[in-house]
Structure 1
Amino acid sequence: MPDTKKVLYIGGHGKIGLLTTPKLVEKGHEVHSLVRNPDYKAELEGLGATPVIADITQQSAADWAQLVDGFDVVVWGAGNGGRGGADLTFAVDQDGAIALVEGMESLGEKAPRLIMISYMGATTNEVENDGGSWYAYVESKKNADNRINSSSLDHVILGPGLLTEDPAAGITVTEPSSVRDGDAKTPRELVADVIAEIINEDKVPPHAPLEFYTGDKPVSSIWES
């Protein structure tokens, strides 16, 4: 097995973060979990993570560079998802993510690998501009993913389908040229398994982005081209 990694999970108290952390800790990885609310510290420590308290909306590119320096992998699992309105969605899902990318780029060859949790079809999805939260989310994820793709960072963007609370079974990885199934469902636990697989194997899957949903193949099939 490759060497264990020092991992920063941004948005560590999210549902996927709480599922991913123990999987990484079990394999010996050193997990630092970034959250805004210090009330989550005890829960994160109980999972084996080291809490990092920071507000994504207040982090400049320079702040991010200082924060991520020394990590091997950064996982972006944060997202307002429209819950706090359009302005907050843009601040977190777009501006915060892009500031992270710019900060990581400034580290040059020292930059960690970036794993971005996005959603299936994020870079091509189009919705009417009604000024609402969903439009803000769609545009934010599109702009953040495109910024990552234009960077020189070692990265992988994950594109799960509709997230569910179902237990993880197998996986189906979609081909880049295939027609996307808008009703395809992806258990959050499966996303956690994919993140753990990428970190455990210490490499990037051949699919860009890696779009997937529940299926009958093992998670290790993400390495198949």
Structure 2
Amino acid sequence: MSRVIVFGGHGRIALLLAPLLVERGVEVTSVIRNPDHTADVEAGGASALVADVERLDTAELADIIRGHDAVVWSAGAGGGDPQRTYAVDRDAAVRTMDAAAIAGVHRYLLVSWLGSTADHGIPEDADFFPYADAKWAADEHLRGTELEGTILAPGTLTFDDPSGRIRIDPEGRGEVSRADVAAVIVAALDSPATIGRTIRFGNGTAENSLPIAEALSN
């Protein structure tokens, strides 16, 4: 795998992901909306591509995806505005999946969240409901495509140092460092065994976790 396009390129996970991929000789295109973020992205070795995924249609997205070997969706609206949450976390994500199929880029990795299930239990009148609903819809769309998809569903994100270890299907909140999520993305891209899977994970403890590559192979 020599070329990867990352949507949400200025997100905290993506900024940690790009240098890891670049160190492995991968050419990374980081898609960002704000041109002011170009320097931050390029400092990690990625090439910045300024594009607004909310506005691009499927054909336009296919044009920027074409020629890559894999797509990583790590974008999000950040909560707060239900309309924009649906526009980014669901609708734009879905368009990139359809665009990847058109572009002939079959490997697609979607960063979701630990609680993204049909019975997530978030009340419809809760502020968090649009996020939960949008993520579930995006997950389901990927499952219904013929893409070589992997859904990564980390628990509550922290700024802890990377441990290099995760626990699959953790109970409760399943806290996990953003740095370890970035490492999981790299490992998942390298592992055909993750295709077609939804992988829910947290850091766990030293006693109940495994090195990332080993955990993903189980």
TM-score (norm 1): 0.89
* Residue in structure 1 matched with residue 156 of structure 2 by the alignment: 162
* Residue in structure 2 matched with residue 113 of structure 1 by the alignment: 107
Q: Deviations over 1:78-133 (max 9, x none)?
A: 001313x10110100011011111222223xx224111000113032132212x64
Q: Percent identity?
A: 33
Instruction: Report the Cα distance in structure 1 between the residues aligned to 2:106 and 2:28, rounded to whole angstroms.
Output: 14
Q: 1:213 aligns with which of 192, 195, 202?
A: 202
Instruction: Report the Cα distance in structure 1 between the residues aligned to 2:196 and 2:66, rounded to whole angstroms.
Output: 27
Instruction: Report the Cα distance in structure 1 between the residues aligned to 2:193 and 2:102, rounded to whole angstroms.
Output: 21
> In 2, are the aligned partners of 1:7 and 1:29 still within 8 Å (CA)?
yes
Instruction: Report the Cα distance in structure 2 between the residues aligned to 1:8 and 1:171, rounded to whole angstroms.
Output: 25
TM-score (norm 2): 0.91
Provide the secondary structure at the position in 1 that maps to 2:77: coil
Instruction: Report the Cα distance in structure 2 between the residues aligned to 1:39 and 1:133, rounded to whole angstroms.
Output: 30
Instruction: Report the Cα distance in structure 2 between the residues aligned to 1:87 and 1:207, rounded to whole angstroms.
Output: 29
The residue type paired with residue 220 of structure 1 is A
* Residue in structure 2 matched with residue 147 of structure 1 by the alignment: 141
Instruction: Report the Cα distance in structure 1 between the residues aligned to 2:78 and 2:145, rounded to whole angstroms.
Output: 24
Provide the secondary structure at the position in 2 that maps to 1:159: strand
* Residue in structure 2 matched with residue 69 of structure 1 by the alignment: 66
Give the alignment's Cα RMSD to 1 decimal.
Answer: 1.6
1:223 Cα deviation from its structure 2 partner: 3.7
> In 2, are the aligned partners of 1:168 and 1:214 still within 8 Å (CA)?
no
The residue type paired with residue 77 of structure 1 is S
Instruction: Report the Cα distance in structure 2 between the residues aligned to 1:7 and 1:112, rounded to whole angstroms.
Output: 12
| Displaced runs of 4 or more, over 6 A | none
Provide the secondary structure at the position in 1 that maps to 2:63: helix
> In 2, are the aligned partners of 1:68 and 1:112 still within 8 Å (CA)?
no
Whether 1:53 aligns to 2:43 is no
* Residue in structure 2 matched with residue 122 of structure 1 by the alignment: 116
* Residue in structure 1 matched with residue 21 of structure 2 by the alignment: 24
1:46 Cα deviation from its structure 2 partner: 1.4
1:75 Cα deviation from its structure 2 partner: 0.5
Residue correspondences, number: 212
Q: Deviations over 1:33-81 (max 9, x none)?
A: 0000000111211111100001111011111111101110110010013
Instruction: Name structure 2 gaps, 5 residues minimum.
Output: none
Q: Cα gap change, 1:90/1:82 in structure 2, threshold over 3 Å: closer, same or farther?
A: same
Instruction: Name structure 1 gaps, 5 residues minimum.
Output: 175-179
